[in-house]
Amino acid sequence: DTTVKQNPRYKLARVGKPVNLICSQTMNHDTMYWYQKKPNQAPKLLLFYYDKILNREADTFEKFQSSRPNNSFCSLYIGSAGLEYSAMYLCASSRGRDGDEQYFGPGTRLTVL
Amino acid sequence: TQTVSQSDAHVTVFEGDSVELRCNYSYGGSIYLSWYIQHHGHGLQFLLKYYSGNPVVQGVNGFEAEFSKSDSSFHLRKASVHWSDSAVYFCAVSSMSNYNVLYFGSGTKLTVEP
């Protein structure tokens, strides 16, 4: 099974409230990634886990948290949502080796009001 | 810093036409170049990749891409498109020893009309 699952598919949040997005894969992949995608923009890497080690991009370091309680699951946490967080959030996984393809979930569309 | 540029936001062709989707990149080190496709409502799916060797690489469903070091390009082509090829196509770069992190272009939406 090469499916990456994301829950929920759609999320409505109020400004200032927390948001937690979930991703899972059963391919035993070492690496799981979170990207943010806004309309007419490139998917942008937010952070990734290689095994149990979290790596966050410098410009989003303080805005997003994540946890990976086991190899299959990875969450993306926003402590206090702002309007600018409205976007599609894409989860992906791969073996993490150079050139390996990434497998993507269908995304979670977050709307912050 | 890697940058990936897809100059055409939208491309419209007719079924049976050939198509080329353009991708230019900027990076000085050893990289992998890849293309992903996203059908509406679905996740991105891998199409093909290039690292070294023959500059023309074949992917699924009749797609191929050609690497050009002199032009810093990795254009995607298909000789005869089908309506089911309508999707958004993303070009991406990943560098060696960086956990396969992808840096994407902004995508090209391909519409194939009957």
Cα separation, B114 vs B112, in Å, equals 7
Number of domains comprising chain A: 1
Predicted confidence (pLDDT) at residue A1 exceeds the cutoff of 80 = no
SS3 per residue for chain A:
CCCEEEECCEEEECCCCCEEEEEEECCCCCEEEEEEECCCCCCEEEEEEECCEEEECHHHCCCCEEEEEECCEEEEEECCCCHHHCEEEEEEEECCCCCCCCEECCCEEEEEC
Please name the residues in contact with A66: beta carbons below 8 A apart, sequence gap of 6 or more. A34, A47, A49, A54, A56, A74, A75, A76, A77
Cα separation, A92 vs B44, in Å, equals 9
Contacts of A107 in chain B (CB under 8 A): 43
Cα separation, B103 vs A102, in Å, equals 12
Predicted confidence (pLDDT) at residue A96 exceeds the cutoff of 90 = no
Mean predicted confidence (pLDDT) in A35-57:
94
Number of domains comprising chain B: 1
Give the model confidence (pLDDT) of B66-110 as tens digits.
999 999 999 999 999 999 999 999 999 998 778 889 999 999 999
CATH of the domain at B76: 2.60.40.10
A97 band by pLDDT with thresholds 50, 70 and 90:
confident
Contacts of A92 in chain B (CB under 8 A): 43-44
Q: Are A102 and B96 in contact (CB < 8 Å)?
A: no
Give the model confidence (pLDDT) of B75-84 as tens digits.
999 999 999 9
The Cα of A82 is separated from the nearest Cα of chain B by a number of Å equal to 23
Contacts of A106 in chain B (CB under 8 A): 41-43
Look at residue B95 in the predicted model and tell me its pLDDT.
85
Q: Are A102 and B44 in contact (CB < 8 Å)?
A: yes
Look at residue A108 in the predicted model and tell me its pLDDT.
97
Cα separation, A32 vs A100, in Å, equals 13
**Across chain A, what does the average pLDDT equal?**
94
Predicted confidence (pLDDT) at residue A100 exceeds the cutoff of 80 = yes
Query: What tokens were used for B3?
Result: 């940058």
Predicted confidence (pLDDT) at residue A106 exceeds the cutoff of 80 = yes
Q: Structural domain of residue A86, as residue ranges?
A: 4-112
Q: Structural domain of residue B64, as residue ranges?
A: 3-113
Closest-approach residue (CA) in chain B for A38: B106
Query: Is residue B107 within 8 Å of residue B90, measured between CB atoms?
Result: yes
CATH of the domain at A32: 2.60.40.10
Q: Are B101 and A101 in contact (CB < 8 Å)?
A: no
